[in-house]
């Protein structure tokens, strides 16, 4: 999954969980426009997180280390 990160298994798992959560929330909150929300999520991740959410862990952003 592009959101979680394509290079690792845990990235794909994180991506699948995030997309399922976002789909469930957006379908309830915005039934007519939820596809636009998911599309925006994919675009934002592609622009700002090219390695996905798992890339943040790999670079140490959440581990308290400086990014290299």
In the predicted model, is pLDDT for residue 1 greater than 60? no
Confidence at 23, pLDDT banded by 50, 70, 90: confident
pLDDT tens per residue across span 33-65? 888 888 888 888 888 877 777 777 666 655 555
- Domain positions in the chain are 9-59
pLDDT class for 3, splitting at 50, 70, 90? low
pTM: 0.61
Question: Given this model, what pLDDT does residue 49 score?
Answer: 78
What are the helix (H) ranges across the chain? 9-29, 34-48, 52-59
Quick check: helix, strand or coil at residue 7?
A: coil
CA nearest neighbour of 11 among 40, 50, 37: 50
């Amino acid at each position: 999954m592009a959101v979680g990160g394509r290079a690792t298994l845990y990235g794909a798992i994180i991506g699948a969980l995030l997309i399922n959560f976002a789909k469930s929330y957006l379908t309830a909150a915005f039934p007519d426009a939820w596809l636009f929300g998911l599309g925006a999520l994919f675009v934002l991740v592609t622009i700002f997180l090219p390695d996905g959410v798992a890339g943040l862990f790999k670079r140490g952003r959440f581990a308290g280390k400086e990014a290299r």
